[in-house]
Structure 1
Amino acid sequence: MKTILNVIWLVFSGFWLFLGYLLAALLLFITIIGIPFGLAALRIGVYALWPFGQTVVDRPGAGAPSCVGNVLWLVLAGWWLALTHIVTGVLQCLTIIGIPLGLANFKMIPVSLMPLGKEIVSTDRPFAGRW
Structure 2
Amino acid sequence: MIALIGNIIWLLFGGIFMGLAWWLMGLLALCTIVGIPWAKACFIIGNFSFMPFGKEPIERKYLTGSDDIGTGEWGLVGNVIWCIVAGIWLALGHLISAVACAITIIGIPFAIQHLKLAIISFAPIGQTIVSKEIAEAARVANSRRL
TM (norm. structure 2) is 0.84
Instruction: Return the letter of the residue paired with 1:71.
Output: V
Instruction: Return the letter of the residue paired with 1:22.
Output: W
Which of 56, 75, 78 is the equivalent residue of 1:69?
78
Secondary structure in structure 1 of the residue aligned to 2:56: strand
Off by >2 Å, runs of 4+ in structure 1: none
**Which of the two has higher C-alpha Rg?**
2
| Matched residue count | 131
The equivalent of 1:82 in structure 2 is 91
The equivalent of 1:124 in structure 2 is 133
1:17 deviates by 0.8
Rounded Cα–Cα distance in structure 2 between residues aligned with 1:54 and 1:112: 16
Identity over aligned pairs, percent? 39
Deviations 1:55-80 (CA, angstroms, capped at 9, x unpaired)? 11122112101000000110121000
Contact 2:44 2:128 in 1 (8 A): no
Secondary structure in structure 1 of the residue aligned to 2:77: helix
The equivalent of 1:31 in structure 2 is 32
Contact 2:94 2:114 in 1 (8 A): yes
Rounded Cα–Cα distance in structure 1 between residues aligned with 2:123 and 2:8: 26
Secondary structure in structure 2 of the residue aligned to 1:125: helix
Instruction: Return the letter of the residue paired with 1:70.
Output: N
Could you list the runs of 5+ residues in structure 1 that have no partner in the other structure? none
Rounded Cα–Cα distance in structure 1 between residues aligned with 2:58 and 2:30: 25
More helix by share: 2
Rounded Cα–Cα distance in structure 1 between residues aligned with 2:59 and 2:40: 17
